[in-house]
Homo-oligomer: A and B are copies of this chain.
Amino acid sequence: MAIKVTVWNEFYHEQTNEKVKAIYPEGIHGCIAEFLGKEDDLVVRTATLEMPEHGLTQEVLDDTDVLVWWGHCRHGDVADEIVERVKTRVLEGMGFIGLHSTHKSKIFGALMGTHCSLRWREIAEKERIWVVERSHPITQGLPGYFELPHEEMYGERFEIPAPDELLMIGWFAGGEVFRSGITYQRGYGRIFYFQPGHETFPIYYDENVRTVIRNAVRWAAPLNKYEPVVAGLHAPEPLEKL
């Protein structure tokens, strides 16, 4: 059965910055949905900030196996009610792939519990991503490292909880390092944060970046049927005779 993916994007820069629009004429969401949509086992839809309920109605979310998120400068415009809805779905098993500046989104912060701040610089320096965990579903098919000629530097200290798994570390020509590919589990949901993706560079056309995102979507798809224990389970009868 196909994995149902929703690609959510702020879709602000692409409409206000000519340079970004030239790189992503269909929006970052359009670009990502296009390559994911080529896969036989994925069914992809998109949603953006300006849509009613940001395109994330309860129906859409209930019908989403994995949510991919790109946001940058309008995190504050995402309604708290929608954030809560998304968080609940993640805890119920919906996968969440956070890309680049999503580290400062309300939803990522809510799932992490920390500020998720980092060190940054925009001078188009080179990044080299090293794969430190080579036997993981998300890193299948990747070389030992791959390069992005121009990226925004994201550097440590990245204020996040210790990741459940550290898959990739980034090296930046300007001198910094970063935990560029990390996973977490929250409730039934599997979360992958992937650092590359500054909007003024054609990052989401890179073949290695695409491989990571394809792998991550498959890895994050829900497993066991969710049994909600939101309110706590009162089990008044002991299982043993006392």
Contact = CB atoms under 8 A, between A and B. Distances in A.
A188 B140 CA distance: 12
A102 B117 CA distance: 27
Interface size bucket, A side? 35 or more
A231 interface: yes
B242 A104 contact: no
A130 B115 contact: no
A104 B111 CA distance: 16
A196 interface: no
A50 interface: no
Contacts of A170: 177
A224 B130 contact: no
Contacts of A87: 113
Contact of A239 (B128, B158, B230): B128
A135 B223 contact: yes
26 contacts: A87-B113, A91-B115, A113-B186, A115-B187, A119-B229, A121-B235, A121-B236, A121-B238, A125-B238, A125-B242, A130-B157, A131-B157, A132-B158, A133-B162, A133-B185, A135-B189, A135-B190, A142-B224, A144-B227, A161-B161, A161-B186, A162-B164, A162-B185, A171-B171, A174-B242, A175-B238
